[in-house]
Amino acid sequence: MRADAQRNRARILTAAEEVFADGGPHASTEEVARRAGVAVGTVFRHFPTKADLLRALMKRLLQQVTDDAADLIAHGDPATALFDFFARLVERTAANRTVVILLAAEGMEVSITGPLGSLGDAVGELLARGQGVGAIRPEIRLDETMALLTSACQGALQGGWDHDLRRRTLDIMFAGLRPSG
């Protein structure tokens, strides 16, 4: 792949992330091209279909989520690592909500449960560590944790919530996970 093609591909992905983040679900490919400083044809050379572009964005998002989990298992405080993972995942989901919604509308295997399924082991590890230091009630099970995580992400997809509200809502869920008293 030629150097300029590589550079343009990266610029298009970055531009697409921005455009879909604040332009809403009706943002056009033309707008992505404009923000990337590139012609429409170039966008379509790299991503033959708008869905392909969205897929590429999603792949990027999944990579970030996976890295988050691995990072928190390796370096996080066991008492807060699971909560931190919740918060990070919800924020990333909210930032990419247009992408997720559009892909879901295309009937593609991209709902937030898909990636979570493959992350089950990682979340289980974070949960076990939290319970090991008494930060999370011992009777909490993995399936409940995953369900709660899915709910939080799906809720964040609804839009109209600012960062502060998402944070406060998560705090209520966290309170439900912690030992009482």
Partner DNA sequence: GACGATAGTGAGTGGTGACTCATCTTGTCC
Partner DNA sequence: GGACAAGATGAGTCACCACTCACTATCGTC
Q: Which residues bind DNA (CB under 7 A)?
A: 1-5, 8, 26, 28-30, 38-42, 44-46, 48-51
CB-wise, 31 or 91, nearer to DNA? Answer: 31
Q: Give the separation between CA 54 and CA 26, rounded to whole angstroms.
A: 13
Q: Give the separation between CA 39 and CA 66, rounded to whole angstroms.
A: 33
Residue in the block written with tokens 């809403």: 24
Partner from a copy of itself, DNA, none binding residue 80, C-beta < 5-8 Å depending on class: none
* Structure token pair of residue 180: 């009482």
Among residues 88, 92, 94, 56, the alpha carbon closest in space to that of 70 is found at 88
Least distance (Å) between residue 109 CB and DNA: 10
CB-wise, 23 or 124, nearer to DNA? Answer: 23
Q: How many angstroms from the chain centroid is the CA of residue 100? A: 9
Residues 150-179, one symbol each (x = binds a copy of itself by CB under 8 A, - = not), give xxx-xxxxxxxx---xx-xx-xxxxxxx--
Instruction: For CA atoms 28, 99, 174, 130, give the dihedral sign.
Output: negative
Q: Give the separation between CA 158 and CA 154, rounded to whole angstroms.
A: 7
Residues 77-106, one symbol each (x = binds a copy of itself by CB under 8 A, - = not), give ------------------------x-xxx-
Least distance (Å) between residue 116 CB and DNA: 21
CB-wise, 42 or 113, nearer to DNA? Answer: 42
Cβ-based neighbour number of residue 168 at 10 Å: 10
Is position 26 an interface residue for a copy of itself (rule: CB under 8 A)? yes
Is position 25 an interface residue for a copy of itself (rule: CB under 8 A)? yes
Partner from a copy of itself, DNA, none binding residue 141, C-beta < 5-8 Å depending on class: a copy of itself
